[in-house]
Structure 1
Amino acid sequence: MVTAGALLVAGTTSDAGKSVLVAGICRWLHRRGVDVAPFKAQNMSNNSVVCADGGEIGRAQALQAAACGLAPSVGFNPVLLKPGSDRTSQVVVRGVVDGTVSAASYRERKAALLEVVTSSLASLREQHEVVICEGAGSPAEINLRSTDIANMGLARAADLPVIVVGDIDRGGVLAHLFGTLAVLEPADQALVAGWVVNKFRGDPALLEPGLEQLRALTGRPTLGVVPWRPELWLDAEDSLGHVADGVVGRPATPVGRDWLRVAVVRLPRVSNGTDVDALAAEPGVAVRYVTEPSRLADADLVVLPGSKATVADLAWLRAQGLADGVLAHARAGRPVLGVCGGYQMLARRIHDPHGVEAAPGTAEGLGLLDVEVTFDVAKHLGTPTGTALGESVAFYEIHHGRELRGAVAPLVTLGDGTPEGADGGHVLGTHAHGLLENDALRRRLLARAAAAAGRDFTPAPATSYAATRAAQLDLLGDLVETHLDTDALEALIAKGAPPGLPEVRVSSS
């Protein structure tokens, strides 16, 4: 059994399966009694969570921590980039905001950040028997290699063995794997020890000759072929990465006669879109992302999710005609829920005196809640508890907005009595992320929506979101145990990349 060591899981592309493979390896090791922790040096995502130690990290690392039986910690993701536009990102270092950068200016910070990530990894390795690291994007981005801190730059600095995962669903996976290795410099190649093929569907016998040729060409084995499992959809790092044809999850048959239809507006800069995963986990609840007004017409509940650029996304909402659809839905007495940025859009006005999002100014909200929002420079992070709709709740907050409510009642009352959010009857808003993961609260909200819509819908009393997530983590662990060469995996973690791996070059002849 593995007792000490580390491994880096890289990918041929973004969304190749790095996050889920790391979670699966972590779950497999944890179930065997290994003290294991996850690590991602640099993440780019607007899907984040707040840790008990006060900072925020990518949600994928929180899921991986759960696979290890650990609470989220800023040590698992020391650098987080949160895109606010196509050209700029907020930088979060060890859980705390540390400025805004462009792509060019961020490269200038990489040398200092390499020390941050290597020291964070070293600290984790002192605290845990095994650390499973996740790369970012692809190590084949050779234009970025000189300042890389998350892929081969990290592997070289910490002497980590590397396995590379490729998504066969994209096509050309053998070329992707070979090409990823071939463009690397020799010292980087020496750490790449094997391959994993992800999302395989079909006859394995047809793939096997290609894997044998890949081994002959590279001198490296394929450690496993992981089959496609459509039931794996929770907590995607990219908040829309798990959405197929607009549909979230694989909902079970309703308890009552009717389905409850939820339309989630797919904002251009959506953040923490996984808040609606808990709704999709309920039997009889069909959750769909929408981008056009017609898709709101037959919805029983409309959700405006979080946004990293609330005012810009509100302008987009109006330009697409979706704002009129939301207003019509609410004026007909049908439920609307806004979360974080979506909540701010439901307010009367949004004030940004310090230019937190863009130029200083005030924007008119949709006016569905008697609330005004002002952006503060400081970001509010917290993991409070309280009550909502008569139920005990726990959640987390990540926002710059400060609310000033008028006559509207709060949706949440914190443990110290502080009101939060707004309950306007059929229009509700909150800054609370993860609120819908509270099972009793979620059932009350769905029952209210069903009553307003006249649906014969009964929330399933036994649904546990935590159990649903745990079952998916166990499935990931099962896939690793069943479909990967775990003996080879253990050897890599404990001993590192084997010496003498051949260098691969692309012939110029």
Structure 2
Amino acid sequence: MSGAGALLVAGTTSDAGKSVLTAGICRWLSRQGVKVAPFKAQNMSLNSMVTADGAEIGRAQYMQAQAARTEPKAIMNPVLLKPGSDRRSQVVLLGRPIAEVDALEYGAHKERLRAVVAESLAELRAEYDVVICEGAGSPAEINLRAGDLANMGLARAADLPVIVVGDIDRGGVFASLFGTVALLEPADQALVAGFVINKFRGAAELLAPGLDQLQALTGRPTLGVLPWRLGLYLDSEDTLALDAPRPDARAPYGDQTLRIAVVRFPRISNFTDLDALACEPGVVVRYAASPGDLADADLVVLPGTRATVADLAWLRETGMADEITRRAAEERPVLGICGGFQMLARRIDDDVESATGGAEGLGLLPASVFFADDKTLGRPNGRGYGEPVTAYEIHHGIVDVEGGEPFLDGCRLGAVYGTVWHGAMENDGFRRGFLADIARRAGRDFTPAPDVSFAALREQTLDALGDLVEEHLDTGALWRLIENGAPAGLPVVPPGGAPETSLGTTTDK
């Protein structure tokens, strides 16, 4: 391929399938011998990962780099926003936090961020044959268009052809695709070259008339229809993915099934930690929002959170804190990861994340926590259950362990475990040792499978995404867009509603 090509994958909504389609295109191109990289200019997500050189990026971009078979880098996700409340987010720029802002304060950073986004994309395009960009949310969020960094603002600045993916499983996909284009100004529409429909299940012949009519209305083809595949929610950015159906355990739900309940905090982060547990045959992982959801669990997990003190208050308000305390007293297993570990401590002093001064923890582990101004980002390693463990850490909270038995970097007291290490369960030997320990403590007749490789299963899923692209998209049309950009002369789609001559007038007298 001559020169550097690029393509932007936009979506009608959040969780429409942008991340997995981007990953699938990256894997498909990598198979063709193309040196390809993913890119997301601005990402709002609480699922993040640490690169080899200690930079924090969106977990989805890390996964997409794996799909592309290239080393993840901070420039693949130059701007990461991590919400801490409904109004404020931490701004992470090129892998390092630079500010805590609300929506209005964020505007003051836009020009600086826009320059970094442009430089990052230019650097990737110079290094790689192809860059597959992922949009954010929807490009038709017209209230945000003026300051847009990740959708049509990026496409216009970098002259990127755009394909728009819509999730037919939600319903209303034709209206969503048509409306997305129609709401864009003409110069933005000129870059939208086609559509992809995601999560289709049904009779293709019933869908075909709609595809023909969509092309007649917009002048743009549908480049493919991706069939429904359960279990392709790799490293999602959105908690919306937690509501999607997930595969049942691959063993009967009975005495040999290990039941794990994960507390679904309002600001839950890095819930990808639990994917490795869910990959085990005979393990059921579900998300819990009330005390009753914890009742029959063999293990309760308090995962990471971007709002430790606020989510601890929520845990108490829901009554789940009392249930967790009772479990600990009965020697029933509880695991805290990062923010969840911090909640299990005796005291949390926080003038950084919540600026509340802190709170009393649940007191189930002999530890205390204080929040440092500087964020800890790292890729630690150690041992557990006699097995090597590699992990990653992302936190302001510093845990001072004051007793108990060692558990990774944290501690264990009775059946309560705590660590700030994310990703530990992805280590197969450690995961099997931990699950065997939990099964023994829970009195469950469960033995982990000896041959499950989390890394191999991830590769299989990435290959499955590549297969979907190769088998169900018009890859020739994708190549042409990547090499040549959006076709000239794409028609302008007028917005629906009143005729143009009467727009902005009134008939009231």
**Fold-level similarity (TM above 0.5):** yes
Identify the residue that residue 504 of structure 1 maps to in structure 2. 493
Matches of 1:200 and 1:90, distance apart in 2? 36
Q: Which moved more, 1:61-70 or 1:384-393?
A: 384-393
Instruction: Select the residue among 455, 459, 462 that pairs with 1:473.
Output: 462
Matches within 5 A, 1:35-434: 35-239=35-239, 241-244=241-244, 249-253=247-251, 258-352=256-350, 355-412=351-408, 420-434=409-423
Deviations 1:304-323 (A, max 9, x none): 00010001101110110000
Q: What code does the residue aligned with 1:468 have?
A: L
Give the TM-score of the pair, scaled to structure 1.
Answer: 0.95
2:487 aligned with 1:493: no
CA displacement 1:322-378 (0-9 Å, x = unmatched): 0011111111111110000000001011112xx212234231111111001111111
Q: CA deviation at 1:113?
A: 1.1
Letter paired with 2:364? L
- Structure 2 portions without partners, runs of 5+: 500-509
Please give the secondary structure, in 2, of the residue aligned with 1:212: helix
CA contact (8 A) 2:20 2:234 kept: no
User: Taking structure 1 as reference, are residues 215 and 255 closer, same or farther at Cα in structure 2, changes over 3 Å only?
Assistant: closer
Secondary structure at 1:241's aligned position in 2? helix
> Partner amino acid for 1:285?
V
Say if 1:139 and 1:168 are closer, same or farther in 2 by CA, change over 3 A: same
Name the CA shift for 1:144/1:202 in 2 (closer, same or farther; >3 Å).
Answer: same
User: 3-state DSSP class of the match of 1:442?
Assistant: helix
AA of the residue aligned to 2:301: V
Give 3-state SS (helix, strand or coil) of 2:359's partner. Answer: strand
In the alignment, structure 1 residue 24 sits paired with structure 2 residue 24: yes
Question: Conserved in 2, the CA contact under 8 Å of 1:178 and 1:218?
Answer: yes
Count of matched residue pairs:
498
Amino acid paired to 2:313: A
1:257-296 deviations in whole A, cap 9, x for unaligned? 6100001011111010110111000000000101111121
- Corresponding position of 2:502: none
Instruction: Note if contact 1:224-1:484 (Cα within 8 Å) is conserved in structure 2.
Output: yes
What are the Cα deviations for residues 146-187 of structure 1, in whole angstroms up to 9, with x where unaligned?
111100000010000000001111111111111111111111
- 1:208, distance to aligned residue in structure 2 (A): 0.7
1:113 to 1:155, Cα distance in 2 relative to 1, 3 A: same
Partner of 1:416: none
1:378-432 superposed Cα distances (whole Å, 9 cap, x missing partner): 10000111112321110000001111111222212xxxxxxx2112241110000
Native 8 Å contact 1:231 1:250 kept in 2: no
SS of 1:356 mapped into structure 2: coil
Q: Aligned partners of 1:471, 1:379: CA distance in 2, in Å?
A: 34
Q: How far 1:2 sits from its partner (Å)?
A: 8.4
CA contact (8 A) 2:290 2:318 kept: yes
Give the Cα separation in 1 of the matches to 2:418 and 2:220.
53
- 1:477 is matched by which residue type in structure 2? G
3-state SS of paired residue (1:279): helix
In structure 2, how many angstroms separate the alpha carbons of the residues matched to 1:111 and 1:315?
37
SS in 2 for 1:403: strand
1:442 has 2:440 as partner: no
Name the SS of the counterpart of 1:213 in structure 2.
helix
Q: Post-superposition, which runs of at least 4 consecutive aligned residues in structure 1 deviate over 4 A? A: 254-257
Tell me, yes or no, if the aligned pair for 2:42 and 2:79 is still in contact at 8 Å.
yes
C-alpha contact (below 8 Å) 1:3/1:34 kept by paired residues: no
Contact 2:14/2:238 (8 A) holds in 1: no
Residue matched to 1:458: 447
Q: Please state how far the C-alpha of 1:254 moved relative to its aligned partner.
A: 6.5
* Deviation string, structure 1 residues 449-496 (Cα, Å, up to 9, x no partner): 100111110100101111111111111100000100000000000110
Seen in structure 2, the aligned counterparts of structure 1 residues 161 and 120 have a Cα distance that, compared at 3 Å, is same
Task: Give distance in 1, aligned partners of 2:123 and 2:462.
Answer: 26
* Greater CA drift, 69-78 or 114-123: 69-78
Mapped contact 1:2–1:493 kept (Cα < 8 A): no
Q: Deviations over 1:20-48 (max 9, x none)?
A: 00000001111111110000000000100
Amino acid corresponding to residue 314 of structure 1 in structure 2: L
How many angstroms apart in 1 are the aligned matches of 2:223 and 2:301? Answer: 42
**Distance change (3 Å), C-alpha of 1:94 and 1:400:** same
CA distance in 1, matches of 2:276, 2:95: 25
CA displacement, residues 119-155 of structure 1 (integer Å, 9 cap, x when unaligned): 1000001111100000001110111111111000000
Aligned residues of 2:308 and 2:340 also touching (Cα < 8 A): yes
